[in-house]
Structure 1
Amino acid sequence: MASVCPYGRFTHAIVRSIPECFGQQEEGGESVSVDVAKAQRQFGVLTGALRQKVGLQLIEIPPDPQLPESWRIEDTAVIQGDTALITRPFKQQRRAEAEAVRRVLNELNVTVVEMGVEEGVSGGATLEGSDVLFTGKEFFVGISKHTNHRGAEVLADTFRDFAVSTVPVFGGSRLKSICSMGGPETIIFSNTEGAKKTQRMMEQLTDHHYDILSVPEDVAANCVYVRGPAKVDYLLHPTADECPNSVSAFQKLPDYTLLPTACSEASKLGGALTSFCLLINRKPNYI
């Protein structure tokens, strides 16, 4: 049966530290200059907020000097309930990132489904977690250069209790670069024309109603929402320095504990706040 636990109830966060080779990959075919030490400090602030303020149990995987993009841990798995689908990133060299994540998931007694093994899909399928938006009611899968329709089919076959809709990603490199969850019934969207086009398609495909929080800056569209154990709504969002025009939009969320969290160095590489963590609920009755 599909989980009835409201969206945002998490107990654990799996993260992976920033390696010294951070930024050595290329984004969009061009070399990008990043400050590794600054990225590591920002990662420390984010993980500190998840552990100390939100109250999640943090599981930190050490960095791997051979895997410069392994900090993008969100891409390695899609987790719902007690099932985790190990994904297949578009880049062949990124697929080794899943090994350490798989070990942690097994230790947490999560049922691990291997994409392309359990489901019998050939190597043509690609899927990255940053293209997957789970609303608590259904999945939206962004079709981008990172994720294709065959990958979306594997996800749909893995999580059969939920509707899975595919949408093209307009105005961003990944679905979560233009939208993310801002609460159990709220989706945060960039208000660029491309993002609005994707939003309209999602609204046509769903049978559910969602409140839309529109933000003027793309970077502000990616946030981490967690419903804390004391029934406190936490939202980690980019700082005022990164999205000065979106601060007022976040303040429209009533009774939220807002946690401004810098992500500027990862943003240079196409990353975002959600890139850094896999969130899991290991208490099925936690509502």
Structure 2
Amino acid sequence: MFTHALVRKPCKNIVEGITSAKLGEPDYQKALVQHASYVQTLMECGLEVMQLEASEEYPDSVFIEDIALLTPEFAVITRPGAPSRRGETEGIKEVLWEFYDEIVEIQPPGTLDAGDVMMAGNRFFIGLSGRTNEEGARQLEAILHKFGFATILVELENLLHLKTGVSYLEHDTMLVGPELKDADFLEDYRTIEVALEESYAANCIWVNTTIIIPKGYPTTLKKIEDAGYDRIVTTDTSEFRKLDGGLSCLSLRF
């Protein structure tokens, strides 16, 4: 169960964020409204939310998930794969010392975005992507093995991050987008497949028995309901989708 979440407010320069979505420029005011609703949803799931101030220097800094991996026992400060985002990790260690006694950091030449890291029970899946290289993944594996966790590397194609295409819904169940539906690492899990036209909905989050999914994907919502989940809420993240961002990207939950 989670008790806390860290988020960072969208900055006015969010319109300058990295994107390949080709969905138009995000609207800053709408992004603020959607972010506030997202925070409220986390609070309704029982989380105490710490909200960091916007960082105008870093347009993508609202996607706070990428800069740290938080586990029940320790924290890892990443080294983002996009050079323009590496400064986002400055100051996060001071925030995390409030919650953790052990914090480690990914070192050059390793790169790691935590959006490429998915925890499922005592396993961590690590995506090798354009943002996470083999050295970064190797460093994270060594850290996780030290604490007794198993790791599985997943080669990615046509996905920004691992969690762009798959979400763990607890109960040995994975919500899987079309890019990963035939992946070998899924063989030990029940899968719920997301249709191509709703592929954005493959990124959702499980928070204390509630599943939060993006608004506007009714087929995926129905499939999750049919799989036996009865606590599902939706929240609008359309402005963040314009920057390749999804639900998990907007918070660190621990």
TM-score range, shorter chain: over 0.9
Counterpart AA for 1:236: I
Q: Is the 8 A contact 1:131 1:141 kept in 2?
A: yes
Q: 1:102 aligns with which of 68, 72, 93?
A: 93
Counterpart AA for 1:137: N
TM-score by length of 1: 0.82
| Cα separation, 2, equivalents of 1:70 and 1:103 | 17
What secondary structure, in the 3-state scheme, does the structure 2 residue paired with 1:159 have? helix
Counterpart AA for 1:153: R
What secondary structure, in the 3-state scheme, does the structure 1 residue paired with 2:31 have? helix
What secondary structure, in the 3-state scheme, does the structure 1 residue paired with 2:97 have? helix
Counterpart of 1:82 in structure 2 is: 73
| Cα separation, 2, equivalents of 1:178 and 1:21 | 27
Counterpart of 1:5 in structure 2 is: none
Deviations 1:75-128 (A, max 9, x none): 001122221110010122211111232221111134110211xxxxxx221100
Paired residues in the alignment total 250
RMSD, aligned CA = 1.7
Counterpart of 2:213 in structure 1 is: 237
**1:248 and 2:222 aligned:** yes
Counterpart of 1:211 in structure 2 is: 190
**1:151 and 2:141 aligned:** no
| Cα separation, 1, equivalents of 2:143 and 2:214 | 32
| Cα separation, 1, equivalents of 2:194 and 2:21 | 28
What secondary structure, in the 3-state scheme, does the structure 2 residue paired with 1:21 have? helix
* Unaligned runs of at least 5 residues, structure 1: 1-8, 117-122, 228-232, 281-287
| Cα separation, 2, equivalents of 1:136 and 1:226 | 14
Counterpart of 2:185 in structure 1 is: 202
What secondary structure, in the 3-state scheme, does the structure 1 residue paired with 2:176 have? strand
TM-score by length of 2: 0.93
Q: Give how far 1:30 is off.
A: 7.0
Tell me which moved more, 163-172 or 262-271.
163-172
User: Per the alignment, do residues 171 and 256 of structure 1 end up closer, same or farther by CA in structure 2, a change over 3 Å counting?
Assistant: farther
Counterpart of 1:111 in structure 2 is: 102
Q: Give how far 1:29 is off.
A: 9.7
| Cα separation, 2, equivalents of 1:184 and 1:79 | 21
Q: Give how far 1:248 is off.
A: 1.2
Counterpart AA for 1:221: A
Q: Is the 8 A contact 2:163 2:203 kept in 1?
A: yes
Counterpart of 2:238 in structure 1 is: 264
Q: Is the 8 A contact 1:171 1:195 kept in 2?
A: no
| Cα separation, 1, equivalents of 2:98 and 2:174 | 32
User: Per the alignment, do residues 102 and 32 of structure 1 end up closer, same or farther by CA in structure 2, a change over 3 Å counting?
Assistant: farther
Q: 2:170 aligns with which of 175, 179, 183?
A: 183
Counterpart AA for 1:248: K
**1:274 and 2:253 aligned:** no
What secondary structure, in the 3-state scheme, does the structure 2 residue paired with 1:109 have? coil
Q: Give how far 1:236 is off.
A: 0.6
Tell me which moved more, 209-218 or 151-160.
209-218
Q: Give how far 1:173 is off.
A: 1.6
| Cα separation, 1, equivalents of 2:132 and 2:71 | 19
**1:225 and 2:206 aligned:** yes
Q: Give how far 1:253 is off.
A: 3.9
Counterpart of 1:69 in structure 2 is: 60
Counterpart of 1:3 in structure 2 is: none
Deviations 1:16-45 (A, max 9, x none): 111111121232397941111111111111
Q: Is the 8 A contact 2:38 2:235 kept in 1?
A: yes
- Identity within the alignment, %: 29
Q: Is the 8 A contact 2:21 2:244 kept in 1?
A: no
